[in-house]
Amino acid sequence: GQSLEQPSEVTAVEGAIVQINCTYQTSGFYGLSWYQQHDGGAPTFLSYNALDGLEETGRFSSFLSRSDSYGYLLLQELQMKDSASYFCAGYNTDKLIFGTGTRLQVFP
């Protein structure tokens, strides 16, 4: 089957850097996406890695290593508004397979 595992919860303080890992057991993913979901809200797209390496989008960066079946989302200069759930998602032929999700709590 296809599965993407993430830590269930991560905590950090404002201004810090946090890394959310995603390990997957599957084949055939075209790439790895990251989505953010605030409580009561809809998931919103953050980034996508089609190739191995680092993609940077403002305070957020995402990394993919296909050989290690591993990716991560790096959030810098954390703000209170970054408190949310974060999901990695493997993209494969018009569908997203979501990871287990990581709840990030940012403290002042």
User: Which CB atom, from 33 or from 61, has the smaller least distance to other proteins?
Assistant: 33
Please report how close the Cβ of residue 57 comes to other proteins at its closest, in angstroms: 12
Closest residue by Cα to residue 36 from 94, 103, 97, 108:
103
Instruction: Count CA atoms closer than 13 A to 33's CA, side-chain side.
Output: 16
Binding flag, residue 45, other proteins (CB under 8 A) = yes
Cβ(74)–Cβ(17) below 8 Å: yes
Q: Which of 59, 100, 105, 107 binds other proteins (CB under 8 A)?
A: 100
Sorted by sequence, the CB contacts under 8 Å of residue 40 that are 6+ apart come out as none
Binding flag, residue 57, other proteins (CB under 8 A) = no
Binding flag, residue 62, other proteins (CB under 8 A) = no
The footprint of other proteins (CB under 8 A) covers 30-31, 33, 41-45, 48, 87, 89, 91, 93-101
